[in-house]
């Protein structure tokens, strides 16, 4: 494998990290080369197998076969992290079912890499469902709540 930037032992080490943690993917970038290992979602019945993404290939989200349909008006997670429905423990939540929200209003926070990111309502409406619990880990493109 001439020209391979990452040695096979490094790939095995990354695969072990995926198996032993709650991570679903790891991506390393070194110069213009990249390696991405992804494992199946925890619901899968078979053992997760890390895969390599080609260097020039775009990153594509793979939906699980048993995934539910995304509800209309769903606000999707823009990142992986921990979701919080209130600005701090014990504070009044940003949203509640039945509460009206304005476009651009903060509806929750996602903590990623020790940074709290405000997630804002993409449009005005009423919160009809909250699909996550405060303090719950969320994945990229996961539905968080529904605003109709």
Tokens coding 71:
């509800």
Domain that holds residue 98: 74-147
**CB 61 within 8 Å of CB 106:** no
Residue 86 and residue 60 in one domain: no
pLDDT for the residue numbered 25: 78
What is the number of structural domains in the chain? 2
Residue 40 and residue 79 in one domain: no
pLDDT for the residue numbered 4: 53
- The pTM score is 0.55
Residue 86 and residue 134 in one domain: yes
Tokens coding 34:
């990249």
Number of CB atoms found within 10 A of residue 89's CB: 8
Residue 53 and residue 104 in one domain: no
**What is the enclosing helix (H) or strand (E) of 12?**
helix 8-20
Residue 24 and residue 52 in one domain: yes
Q: CA 69 to CA 13: how far, in whole Å?
A: 35
Question: Cα separations (Å) of 11 from 49, 54, 65, 92?
Answer: 12, 14, 27, 45
Chain segment 106-144, per-residue pLDDT in tens: 999 999 988 999 999 999 999 999 999 999 999 999 999
What's phi and psi for 111, nearest 5 deg?
A: -90, 120
Residue 87 and residue 103 in one domain: yes
CATH of the domain at 142: 2.40.50.100
Give the chain's mean pLDDT.
Answer: 79
């Amino acid at each position: 494998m001439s020209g391979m930037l990452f040695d096979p032992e490094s790939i095995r080490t990354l695969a072990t990290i995926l198996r032993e943690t709650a991570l679903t993917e790891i991506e390393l970038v070194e110069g213009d080369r990249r390696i991405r290992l992804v494992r199946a979602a925890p619901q899968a019945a078979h053992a997760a197998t890390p895969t390599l993404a080609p260097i020039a290939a775009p990153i594509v989200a793979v939906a699980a076969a048993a995934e539910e349909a995304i509800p209309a008006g769903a606000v999707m997670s823009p990142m992986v992290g921990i979701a919080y429905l209130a600005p701090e423990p014990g504070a009044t939540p940003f949203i509640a079912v039945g509460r009206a929200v304005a476009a651009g209003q903060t509806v929750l926070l996602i903590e990623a890499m020790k940074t709290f990111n405000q997630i804002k309502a993409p449009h005005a409406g009423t919160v009809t469902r909250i699909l996550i619990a405060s303090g719950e880990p969320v994945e990229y493109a996961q539905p968080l709540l529904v605003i109709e």
